[in-house]
Amino acid sequence: MLIIRWYMLTGIKPQPIARGRATEAEWEKAARGTDGRTYPWGNEWDVNKANASGSADGFDGTAPISSFDDGKSHYGAYAMAGNVSE
């Protein structure tokens, strides 16, 4: 409520940011960071950091997005490896 009133009093309106989908380079940076790691969490594969073990990881098929907290990328993006495939 306070923020809305500030906008009303100042006459400044927030401008929406018009964007499309992320580019391939933006996806790569979100997944691999700036150091070029192989996986979002580092350079060594860890079966406990991605939904890539069939039902052995407790999920039969896809998993909720925040199920593998240790598998987040440097930027905090979930499920950048595993869960689904192209």
Enter the tokens of residue 43: 């350079």
Enter the tokens of residue 41: 């969490």
Supply the DSSP symbol for 23: P
Query: Which range is least confidently modeled, 2-11, 42-51, 64-73, 76-85?
Result: 2-11
Report how far residue 67's alpha carbon sits from residue 40's, in angstroms, rounded to the nearest whole number. Answer: 15
Summary mean pLDDT of the chain? 81
What are the extents of the domains in the chain? 23-86
pLDDT at 38: 92
pLDDT at 85: 62
Residue range 2-12: average pLDDT?
62
Largest CA distance in the chain: 57
Length of the chain: 86
Q: pLDDT for 32-70, tens place per residue?
A: 999 989 999 999 999 888 888 777 778 888 888 888 889
